[in-house]
Structure 1
Amino acid sequence: MSTDLLPPDELERRLRAIGDERYHVHHPFHRLLHGGKLTKPQVQAWALNRYYYQASIPRKDATLLARLSTPELRREWRRRLVDHDGDGTAPGGVERWLKLTDGLGLDRDYVISLQGLLPGTRFAVDAYVAWVRDRSVLEAVASSLTEMFSPNIISERVSGMLRNYDFVTADTLAYFTPRLTQAPQDVAFALEYVKREARSRAEQDQVLGALRFKCDLLWAQLDALHFAYVEPALPPPGAFRP
């Protein structure tokens, strides 16, 4: 294995190649979702389980915020908390996701209770929160770089769902509109940070490994959904059943 430091542009190229191969836009469940091939109950199952991921992002970011050493870094990560939690006057991403589950006809108290969550979802999301808490700041920041690929998946998701599902409206999918501007802002900071702070080949490899881990985690959540609600359609005891 080479120990030569990668030029910053080459590191970025390798990060983007990981997304091209591993990002969950390629998962069969997502292709079914965007293509209008799922039933309303299957879409409800996706939204309900995805809520746990959305609601856990601020917890994940808070564990990282506590370890950042400068006011500039803390301000950046505090902005992400506000994006997801809101500021008390404007709703954040977690509240907007609940409007999505409302729009799909799910009981809000049931969604928030997590009673219908798939075990696979819970294990994957909890692993992500713990991973960011326990790994280096460099790796934690790098794991957020899946947002490099999110604008494309958001555009595909919104257009496909509006076109293919008569039970979905633009208001239902309003969660995604702010992310089209928030995600590129997040990426610009995180990508510049990892290119600057990964000062050895070993640290660059950690950055690449962090993005692979995050892509695998997102993929695993869709594996759980596909197994439970598509094929062989065997939801485990206690999980959401339409």
Structure 2
Amino acid sequence: MRTVGAESYHDRHPFNVRMHAGDLTPGELRRWITNRFHYQRHIPIKDALILAKFDSAALRRSWLRRIQDHDGTVDGEGGIERWLRLGEAAGIERSLLLDGREVLPGVRLAVDGYVNFCRLRPALDAVAASLTELTAPAIMRTRIAAFERHYRWIDEAGLGYFRGRIGQGRRDSQEALALVLAWARTREQQERAMAALTFKCEVLWSLLDAVDRAEGGVA
């Protein structure tokens, strides 16, 4: 599972490579922030679908924290709110992010594919797909350093989402990995888990493909 993440995670995508090298224009960076928000706002939805598959109250309580991490427990908190603040720090109006009118069709297709995967597949597959979190903390550290060095026109206060995901990603990935290791006992189950994680990596690559190939940027 770790090898799949190391070899297929979207930190290797040319768009992310250019982002971290400081080569994106303001318009390109705003386009990424806008389209990635469409993915971010669907994270608690896919986690609710996963939670509904658990027959254990303890598991549901544990997974519920992921939804709270993104939605917050009150208005003005949580990862979605922090992404909105990132957008504002980059000069994107909150209303534009929330209405989704700038979201690319390819991004909608990728996100819908992931949400439907979590809706329709068994718990093992859906949890295994979340294990891109094994690699996420490293890309968050790289991203923070890149923004601080290359994109100083973005207020540092807008980087709160990236900072928060370092600890959350490490915790979430260890919990999900323990579940996958406990559930995937047969060769068929193990192959399903690997395929699910590969699919999730492909979703993230497809999202960036759409962003990278689009023209222009959010004004």
- Paired with 1:215 and 1:87, the residues of 2 have a C-alpha distance of 29
Count of aligned positions: 219
What does the per-residue CA deviation read over 1:54-103, in whole Å, with 9 as the maximum and x for residues that have no partner? Answer: 00000111111112100111011101010010001661000000000010
Larger Cα Rg: Structure 1 or Structure 2? 1
- TM-score, normalised relative to structure 2: 0.97
Which residue of structure 2 aligns with residue 74 of structure 1?
60
Which residue of structure 2 aligns with residue 5 of structure 1?
none
Which residue of structure 1 aligns with residue 34 of structure 2?
48
Are positions 1:144 and 2:130 aligned together?
Answer: yes
Q: CA contact under 8 A between 1:162 and 1:169: conserved in structure 2?
A: no
Which residue of structure 2 aligns with residue 109 of structure 1?
95
Residue among 175, 183, 187 paired with 2:169: 183
Residues 1-242 of structure 1: matches in 2 within 5 Å? 15-88=1-74, 91-228=77-214, 233=215, 241-242=218-219
Deviates more, 1:199-208 or 1:89-98: 89-98
Query: Equivalent residue of 2:128, what SS?
Result: helix
Deviation, 1:166, is: 2.4
Query: Equivalent residue of 1:172, what SS?
Result: helix
Q: Which runs of 5+ in 2 are unaligned?
A: none
**Fraction of identical pairs, as percent:** 42
Q: Return the letter of the residue paired with 1:45.
A: R
What does the per-residue CA deviation read over 1:156-177, in whole Å, with 9 as the maximum and x for residues that have no partner? Answer: 0110111011212321111111
Q: Return the letter of the residue paired with 1:180.
A: I
- Paired with 1:138 and 1:166, the residues of 2 have a C-alpha distance of 42
Runs (4+) of structure 1 exceeding 3 A deviation are none
- Paired with 2:58 and 2:167, the residues of 1 have a C-alpha distance of 21
Query: Equivalent residue of 2:173, what SS?
Result: helix
What does the per-residue CA deviation read over 1:168-192, in whole Å, with 9 as the maximum and x for residues that have no partner? Answer: 2321111111211111111111101
- Paired with 1:78 and 1:159, the residues of 2 have a C-alpha distance of 31
Deviation, 1:42, is: 0.6
Which residue of structure 2 aligns with residue 7 of structure 1?
none
Deviation, 1:207, is: 0.3
Query: Equivalent residue of 2:201, what SS?
Result: helix
Q: Return the letter of the residue paired with 2:114.
A: Y
Q: CA contact under 8 A between 1:60 and 1:132: conserved in structure 2?
A: yes
- Paired with 2:218 and 2:141, the residues of 1 have a C-alpha distance of 29
- Paired with 1:241 and 1:147, the residues of 2 have a C-alpha distance of 28
- Paired with 1:78 and 1:174, the residues of 2 have a C-alpha distance of 21
Query: Equivalent residue of 2:158, what SS?
Result: coil
